[in-house]
Structure 1
Amino acid sequence: MKTVVAAMLFAVAAPAAALAAPGQSAPAAAKFNIDTPVEVLAADPAAKAVLDADMPGMLTHPSYEMFKAMSLRQLQPFSEGKITDEILAKIDADLAAIK
Protein backbone atom coordinates (compact mmCIF):
# COMPACT_ATOMS: atom_id res chain seq x y z
CA MET A 1 0.00 0.00 0.00
CA LYS A 2 2.83 2.43 0.85
CA THR A 3 4.41 1.69 -2.53
CA VAL A 4 1.17 2.54 -4.33
CA VAL A 5 0.80 5.83 -2.40
CA ALA A 6 4.44 6.74 -3.08
CA ALA A 7 4.01 5.99 -6.78
CA MET A 8 0.89 8.16 -6.92
CA LEU A 9 2.65 11.05 -5.19
CA PHE A 10 5.59 10.73 -7.57
CA ALA A 11 3.26 10.72 -10.57
CA VAL A 12 1.71 13.99 -9.40
CA ALA A 13 5.00 15.68 -8.45
CA ALA A 14 7.05 14.55 -11.46
CA PRO A 15 5.34 16.74 -14.12
CA ALA A 16 5.77 19.88 -12.01
CA ALA A 17 9.42 19.10 -11.38
CA ALA A 18 10.00 18.53 -15.08
CA LEU A 19 8.89 22.08 -15.86
CA ALA A 20 11.68 23.71 -13.88
CA ALA A 21 15.37 23.35 -14.66
CA PRO A 22 17.56 22.12 -11.80
CA GLY A 23 18.13 24.90 -9.30
CA GLN A 24 15.23 26.97 -10.65
CA SER A 25 11.68 27.20 -9.42
CA ALA A 26 8.69 26.60 -11.66
CA PRO A 27 7.37 29.64 -13.52
CA ALA A 28 4.90 31.70 -11.52
CA ALA A 29 1.27 31.56 -12.59
CA ALA A 30 -0.28 34.71 -13.96
CA LYS A 31 -1.75 36.93 -11.27
CA PHE A 32 -5.04 37.37 -13.15
CA ASN A 33 -6.81 35.59 -16.00
CA ILE A 34 -10.25 35.23 -17.56
CA ASP A 35 -11.27 32.89 -14.73
CA THR A 36 -10.73 35.60 -12.11
CA PRO A 37 -14.00 37.17 -10.89
CA VAL A 38 -14.72 40.52 -12.56
CA GLU A 39 -14.94 42.29 -9.19
CA VAL A 40 -11.42 41.11 -8.30
CA LEU A 41 -10.12 42.43 -11.63
CA ALA A 42 -11.94 45.72 -11.09
CA ALA A 43 -10.33 46.13 -7.66
CA ASP A 44 -6.80 46.07 -9.10
CA PRO A 45 -5.77 49.24 -11.00
CA ALA A 46 -3.75 47.40 -13.66
CA ALA A 47 -6.40 44.72 -14.26
CA LYS A 48 -9.12 47.39 -14.29
CA ALA A 49 -7.17 49.24 -16.99
CA VAL A 50 -7.16 46.06 -19.10
CA LEU A 51 -10.94 45.70 -18.74
CA ASP A 52 -11.48 49.39 -19.52
CA ALA A 53 -9.30 49.11 -22.65
CA ASP A 54 -10.51 45.74 -23.93
CA MET A 55 -14.17 45.94 -22.87
CA PRO A 56 -15.10 49.60 -22.48
CA GLY A 57 -18.21 50.19 -20.40
CA MET A 58 -18.24 46.78 -18.76
CA LEU A 59 -17.55 48.10 -15.27
CA THR A 60 -20.25 50.76 -15.59
CA HIS A 61 -22.85 48.41 -17.11
CA PRO A 62 -26.23 48.66 -15.36
CA SER A 63 -26.10 44.92 -14.52
CA TYR A 64 -22.58 45.03 -13.06
CA GLU A 65 -23.82 44.18 -9.55
CA MET A 66 -25.47 41.05 -10.95
CA PHE A 67 -22.41 39.68 -12.77
CA LYS A 68 -19.43 41.05 -10.84
CA ALA A 69 -18.85 37.78 -8.96
CA MET A 70 -18.61 35.86 -12.26
CA SER A 71 -15.47 35.41 -14.31
CA LEU A 72 -15.31 36.59 -17.91
CA ARG A 73 -15.38 32.96 -19.06
CA GLN A 74 -18.57 32.37 -17.03
CA LEU A 75 -20.08 35.59 -18.33
CA GLN A 76 -19.42 34.83 -22.01
CA PRO A 77 -22.51 32.65 -22.64
CA PHE A 78 -24.76 35.41 -21.28
CA SER A 79 -23.17 38.21 -23.34
CA GLU A 80 -25.28 37.69 -26.47
CA GLY A 81 -22.10 37.23 -28.50
CA LYS A 82 -20.42 40.42 -27.27
CA ILE A 83 -17.68 38.54 -25.41
CA THR A 84 -16.08 36.53 -28.20
CA ASP A 85 -13.32 33.94 -27.93
CA GLU A 86 -10.99 36.49 -29.54
CA ILE A 87 -11.80 39.12 -26.93
CA LEU A 88 -11.26 36.59 -24.13
CA ALA A 89 -7.89 35.61 -25.62
CA LYS A 90 -6.80 39.27 -25.83
CA ILE A 91 -7.91 40.00 -22.28
CA ASP A 92 -6.22 36.84 -21.00
CA ALA A 93 -2.96 37.83 -22.68
CA ASP A 94 -3.19 41.41 -21.40
CA LEU A 95 -3.92 40.21 -17.85
CA ALA A 96 -1.03 37.74 -17.99
CA ALA A 97 1.31 40.62 -18.85
CA ILE A 98 0.54 42.36 -15.54
CA LYS A 99 3.50 42.09 -13.20
Structure 2
Amino acid sequence: MNGDEQLLNRRVYGTDHDAHNPGPLPHRTYAELVGGPLDGLLLDIHGWRTEDIDDGVALPTELGQYPGGRSLYEARPGEPRTPGPGVSCRLYFSADSP
Protein backbone atom coordinates (compact mmCIF):
# COMPACT_ATOMS: atom_id res chain seq x y z
CA MET A 1 0.00 0.00 0.00
CA ASN A 2 1.51 3.37 -0.97
CA GLY A 3 1.38 6.55 1.16
CA ASP A 4 -1.73 7.92 -0.55
CA GLU A 5 -3.63 4.68 0.06
CA GLN A 6 -2.57 4.66 3.73
CA LEU A 7 -3.79 8.24 4.14
CA LEU A 8 -7.15 7.41 2.58
CA ASN A 9 -7.62 4.46 4.96
CA ARG A 10 -7.31 6.68 8.05
CA ARG A 11 -10.28 8.03 9.96
CA VAL A 12 -11.04 11.68 10.58
CA TYR A 13 -11.89 12.80 14.14
CA GLY A 14 -15.60 13.46 14.51
CA THR A 15 -16.76 11.11 11.77
CA ASP A 16 -19.14 8.33 12.71
CA HIS A 17 -17.60 4.85 12.89
CA ASP A 18 -20.36 3.65 10.57
CA ALA A 19 -20.01 6.52 8.10
CA HIS A 20 -19.84 5.57 4.45
CA ASN A 21 -16.53 7.44 4.05
CA PRO A 22 -14.90 8.25 7.43
CA GLY A 23 -11.57 8.97 5.75
CA PRO A 24 -9.97 12.22 4.66
CA LEU A 25 -11.03 14.10 1.55
CA PRO A 26 -8.30 14.88 -1.00
CA HIS A 27 -8.95 18.65 -1.04
CA ARG A 28 -8.90 19.15 2.78
CA THR A 29 -6.03 19.83 5.21
CA TYR A 30 -5.48 17.70 8.32
CA ALA A 31 -3.40 17.47 11.46
CA GLU A 32 -2.38 14.01 12.66
CA LEU A 33 -3.20 13.41 16.33
CA VAL A 34 -0.27 11.74 18.10
CA GLY A 35 -0.54 9.92 21.42
CA GLY A 36 -3.39 9.82 23.90
CA PRO A 37 -6.84 8.39 23.29
CA LEU A 38 -7.20 9.84 19.78
CA ASP A 39 -3.81 8.63 18.51
CA GLY A 40 -3.73 8.12 14.76
CA LEU A 41 -6.89 10.06 13.94
CA LEU A 42 -6.81 13.03 11.60
CA LEU A 43 -8.25 16.40 12.62
CA ASP A 44 -9.70 18.53 9.81
CA ILE A 45 -7.91 21.90 10.07
CA HIS A 46 -8.85 23.15 6.61
CA GLY A 47 -9.06 26.95 6.72
CA TRP A 48 -7.50 27.28 10.19
CA ARG A 49 -5.01 30.08 10.77
CA THR A 50 -1.51 29.19 11.96
CA GLU A 51 -2.33 30.84 15.30
CA ASP A 52 -5.35 28.56 15.73
CA ILE A 53 -3.14 25.50 15.34
CA ASP A 54 -0.43 26.93 17.61
CA ASP A 55 -3.03 27.46 20.37
CA GLY A 56 -3.78 23.72 20.42
CA VAL A 57 -7.14 22.02 20.67
CA ALA A 58 -9.39 20.51 23.34
CA LEU A 59 -11.30 17.69 21.66
CA PRO A 60 -14.39 16.12 23.26
CA THR A 61 -14.01 12.37 23.66
CA GLU A 62 -15.41 9.45 25.59
CA LEU A 63 -12.06 7.66 25.31
CA GLY A 64 -9.95 9.80 27.65
CA GLN A 65 -9.35 9.65 31.38
CA TYR A 66 -12.59 11.59 31.92
CA PRO A 67 -15.45 10.12 29.86
CA GLY A 68 -17.33 13.07 28.39
CA GLY A 69 -14.26 15.25 28.93
CA ARG A 70 -11.68 16.57 26.51
CA SER A 71 -8.27 15.48 25.30
CA LEU A 72 -5.78 18.29 24.80
CA TYR A 73 -3.44 18.28 21.80
CA GLU A 74 -0.71 20.82 21.06
CA ALA A 75 1.67 21.68 18.24
CA ARG A 76 5.38 21.47 18.95
CA PRO A 77 7.22 24.75 18.37
CA GLY A 78 9.43 24.68 15.33
CA GLU A 79 8.04 21.47 13.91
CA PRO A 80 7.70 21.78 10.13
CA ARG A 81 4.31 22.08 8.45
CA THR A 82 3.38 21.27 4.90
CA PRO A 83 0.92 23.69 3.31
CA GLY A 84 -2.01 22.54 1.26
CA PRO A 85 -4.20 19.48 1.20
CA GLY A 86 -3.26 16.30 3.02
CA VAL A 87 -1.58 15.99 6.42
CA SER A 88 -0.08 19.38 7.18
CA CYS A 89 1.21 18.91 10.74
CA ARG A 90 1.03 16.88 13.93
CA LEU A 91 -0.66 17.73 17.21
CA TYR A 92 0.65 15.91 20.28
CA PHE A 93 -1.37 14.73 23.27
CA SER A 94 -0.66 16.74 26.41
CA ALA A 95 -3.44 15.87 28.91
CA ASP A 96 -7.04 14.93 29.53
CA SER A 97 -9.46 17.40 31.09
CA PRO A 98 -12.87 16.85 32.70
TM category (shorter chain) comes to: under 0.3
Q: Which has the higher contact order (CA 8 A, sep 6+)?
A: 1
Judging by fraction of residues, say which structure has more helix: 1
- Give the alignment's TM-score, normalised by structure 2: 0.21
TM-score, length-scaled by structure 1: 0.21
Bigger Rg, structure 1 or 2:
1
